[in-house]
Amino acid sequence: MVAAEGPCPIRLVYPQTVSPPPNVSEYDWLAISTYDMWNEMNIIVGSVQEYCTKLLCPTMTAGDFEYAWADDEAVGEGAKTTNI
């Protein structure tokens, strides 16, 4: 087993941390975990969308940092984006 390395002081052993419980199919566990994550993300985004509109949140920022969207067509600094 390989432990995580890097700046994080917590050492995780990934095969034990992200593995299905005993007697549960890996495919079933992955499907349910993915579905649960999707639902949780929808709850978070839905909550934020109520209060953060294009008018109230014209750019996506965190402290002094401003985030931009870049894809295959964007070059340089990327395009400014709203929070949602």
Q: Measuring CA to CA, how many Å separate 72 from each of 75, 76, 80, 84?
A: 8, 11, 15, 21
Co-location of 31 and 48 in the same domain: yes
Cβ neighbors of 49 (< 8 A, separation 6 or more) are 84
Q: Are residues 43 and 64 in the same domain?
A: no
Q: What is the pLDDT of residues 63-72, one digit of tens each?
A: 888 887 776 6
61 with 48, same domain?
Answer: no
Domains held by the chain: number: 2
Pair 65, 83 in one domain: yes
Say whether both 67 and 84 belong to one domain.
Answer: yes
Q: Are residues 61 and 46 in the same domain?
A: no
**What pTM value is reported for the model?**
0.53
* Residue 60: how many other CB atoms lie within 10 Å: 16
List, for residues 43-66, the tens digit of each pLDDT value. 988 888 888 888 888 888 888 888
pLDDT on residue 77: 62
In a domain, 15, yes or no: no
> Domain range spanning residue 42?
24-52
Kindly tell me the sign of the dihedral angle through the C-alpha atoms of 64, 67, 68, 70: positive
